[in-house]
Amino acid sequence: MNNATGRFLLRWFVCGLGLWIAALILGGSRLTVQSSLLVLIVSGLLLAILNTVIKPLVVILSLPAILFSLGLFMIVINGLMVLLVSKLYASLQVENFGAAMLAGMIIGFVNYLVTTILDRRSS
């Protein structure tokens, strides 16, 4: 397994874990993940693919807004990615854009924690 594949698999795992934690924190009314593990796996895969392919393009196009808001616009972009996954995959249901932004923040925080732990273990 090469380094790019390992990074993508880690991103996939972190996205699925983040969605699961976001569903637990936000509750069933705002973010609903069907009770199947398969739904989390597929949702995490779709989110990882969108974050790998589409998110960099969105970040480049919205760079002025990101700079103007001192990076806070990234929360909106993360929410858009979660909302887009919910539109592509009906088993993941997000109530509104606010819930998607909260889920995006939780996923980003989980990503930060996992990355920090792995960086400390490798050094």
Q: What is the pLDDT of residues 23-36, one digit of tens each?
A: 888 877 677 776 67
Tell me, what's the pLDDT at 56?
Answer: 93
Q: Confirm whether 119 is domain-assigned.
A: no
Q: Confirm whether 16 is domain-assigned.
A: yes
Q: Confirm whether 5 is domain-assigned.
A: no
Buried b or exposed e, range 30-39, using 16+ CB within 10 angstroms: bbbbeeeeeb
Tell me, what's the pLDDT at 35?
Answer: 65
Q: Domain span at residue 18?
A: 12-112
Q: Confirm whether 74 is domain-assigned.
A: yes
**pTM for the full predicted model:** 0.88
Q: Confirm whether 81 is domain-assigned.
A: yes
Q: Confirm whether 85 is domain-assigned.
A: yes
Give the model's confidence band at 49: pLDDT under 50 very low, under 70 low, under 90 confident, else very high: very high
Tell me, what's the pLDDT at 80?
Answer: 95
In total, how many domains does the chain have?
A: 1
